[in-house]
């Protein structure tokens, strides 16, 4: 069984702008995001993004446009010699109905755990909202709540040390 660090996207890896990121030029990778991904990978963790993207359901942007936003982050990682193992997104919004993949439900994490043969007890979810932490707990993963748009490298270093010991 492998281990992974799950990252929420908006406010954790890219700047939370208070509204939907609907254009590629509004997608800003936070200063320590790539360093956090490098740190996780250097300790043998898979890196998996799990993100609610209800803007698709609200027709503010498309899945193809979302892929172009993610490509900005993927390119930043590639330039730094690291990578993201997988990205899961929920395109649904509660105004259109309930789904099991939208956090605080845990289906995105559960799919990743099954696909990547992860040990949930050796995984960590970093999020900036209670719904991120609730989704992690439902999947048996420890959650780490951070403030949006803040540095997280030192917190992640401490959490990784606890997991690998």
Q: Which residue do the tokens 């990252």 mark?
A: 7
User: Is 26 among the residues known to form the active site?
Assistant: no
Tokens of residue 86, six digits: 């997988």
Given the residues 8, 85, 128, 132, select the one marked as catalytic: 8
Q: Is 18 left (phi over 0), alpha (psi -120 to 50) or beta?
A: left
| Pure H helices in 46-165 | 63-79, 107-115, 130-138, 153-164
Return phi, psi of residue 163, to 5°: -70, -40
Given the residues 10, 85, 105, 128, select the one marked as catalytic: 10
As a whole number of angstroms, the distance between CA 49 and CA 68 comes to 15
User: Is 130 among the residues known to form the active site?
Assistant: no
As a whole number of angstroms, the distance between CA 85 and CA 138 comes to 22
Residue 97: strand, helix, or coil: coil
Q: Which residue do the tokens 């281990």 mark?
A: 3
As a whole number of angstroms, the distance between CA 142 and CA 134 comes to 10
What positions carry a catalytic annotation?
A: 8, 10
């Amino acid at each position: 069984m492998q281990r992974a660090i799950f990252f929420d996207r908006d406010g954790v890896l890219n700047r939370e702008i208070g509204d939907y990121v609907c254009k590629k030029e509004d997608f800003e990778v936070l200063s320590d995001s790539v360093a956090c991904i490098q740190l996780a990978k250097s300790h043998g963790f898979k890196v998996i993004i799990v993100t609610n993207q209800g803007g698709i359901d609200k027709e503010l942007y498309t899945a193809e446009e979302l892929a172009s936003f993610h490509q900005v982050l993927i390119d930043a990682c590639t330039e730094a010699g690291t990578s993201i193992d997988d990205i899961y997104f929920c395109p649904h919004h509660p105004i259109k109905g309930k789904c099991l993949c939208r956090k605080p439900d845990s289906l995105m994490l559960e799919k990743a755990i099954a696909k990547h043969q992860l040990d949930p007890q050796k995984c960590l979810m970093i999020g900036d909202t209670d719904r991120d932490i609730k989704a992690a707990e439902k999947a048996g993963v420890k959650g780490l709540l951070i403030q949006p748009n803040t540095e997280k490298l030192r917190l992640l270093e401490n959490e990784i040390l606890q997991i690998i010991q």
